[in-house]
């Protein structure tokens, strides 16, 4: 996760997020495609609800996952003739050891802001950081999350996407049903910036 105001984040940090979430995932998928075609297998990619409802101060993570979500749709179409399914497991908040790393990343960004950046973004970013830490601390446990991903990977027929956690289910529903203006209000509310 590369949190922070887009104006403040170094481009290299944003590039790194894309290297991991997009190019790393592409490299792994492409390496296994010959075996997947032969076995008529299934690609299951864990993504995030913020790929469909991006949060302020979490742009690189949501954007990089959204980029791979788009590539997954392309893979789904290209690999259909070979019997290879592509499933996106859309994760909500999970308690997987990430909260401590997230809290450290949020603190690091806040500590590195200049006085001008703190004046512009400090209060809102602090609110976001507090809310994000609470969200991750109360998320789905890792065993339940893993069981849900396994369930999605074994479902017949293969779903194109499935929620991992009640919050992800709710976000996917909201994105289907709400207008852009309503989604903007929801995203601000979810991170405490209403």
Closest to 47 measured CA to CA, from 92, 91, 96: 91
**Torsion over CA: 92, 190, 67, 25 (sign):** negative
Closest to 47 measured CA to CA, from 183, 154, 127, 159: 159
| 88: three-class secondary structure by DSSP | strand
**Residue 26 within a domain:** yes
Tokens of 56: 């302020």
**Residue 72 within a domain:** yes
**Residue 71 within a domain:** yes
> How far is the C-alpha of 63 from the C-alpha of 152, rounded, in Å?
23
Q: Structural domain of residue 65, as residue ranges?
A: 11-165+177-186
Strands 94-95 and 140-141: parallel
**Residue 5 within a domain:** no
85 in Cβ contact with 69 (< 8 Å): no
Taking only the tens of pLDDT, the chain with its 194 residues reads 789 999 999 999 999 999 999 999 999 999 999 999 999 999 999 999 999 999 999 999 999 999 999 999 999 999 999 999 999 999 998 876 666 777 788 888 889 999 999 999 999 999 998 888 888 777 888 899 999 999 999 999 999 999 999 999 999 999 999 999 999 999 999 999 98
pTM of structure:
0.90
**Residue 2 within a domain:** no
| 184: three-class secondary structure by DSSP | helix
What local confidence, expressed as pLDDT, does residue 123 receive? 94
What local confidence, expressed as pLDDT, does residue 99 receive? 63
Which helix (H) or strand (E) segment is 19 a member of? Answer: none
**Residue 106 within a domain:** yes
Number of domains in the chain: 1
**Residue 3 within a domain:** no
**Residue 172 within a domain:** no
Q: What is the CATH number of the domain that holds 20?
A: 3.40.50.720
């Amino acid at each position: 996760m590369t949190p922070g105001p887009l104006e403040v984040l170094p481009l290299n940090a944003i590039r790194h997020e894309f290297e991991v979430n997009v190019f790393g995932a592409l490299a792994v998928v492409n390496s296994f495609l010959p075996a997947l075609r032969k076995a008529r297998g299934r690609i299951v990619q864990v993504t995030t609800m913020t790929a469909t409802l991006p949060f302020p101060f979490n742009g690189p993570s949501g954007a990089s996952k959204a980029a791979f979500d788009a590539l997954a749709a392309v893979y789904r179409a290209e690999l259909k003739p070979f019997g290879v399914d592509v499933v996106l497991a859309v994760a909500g908040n999970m308690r997987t050891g990430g909260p401590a790393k997230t809290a450290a990343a949020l603190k690091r960004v806040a500590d590195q802001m200049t006085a001008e950046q703190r004046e512009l973004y400090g209060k809102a970013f602090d609110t976001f950081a507090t809310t994000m830490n609470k969200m991750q601390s109360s998320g789905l446990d890792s065993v339940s999350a893993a069981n849900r991903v396994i369930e999605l990977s074994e479902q017949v027929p293969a779903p194109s996407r499935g929620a991992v956690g009640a919050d992800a289910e709710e976000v996917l529903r909201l994105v289907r049903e709400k207008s852009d203006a309503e989604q903007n209000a929801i995203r601000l509310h979810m991170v405490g910036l209403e």
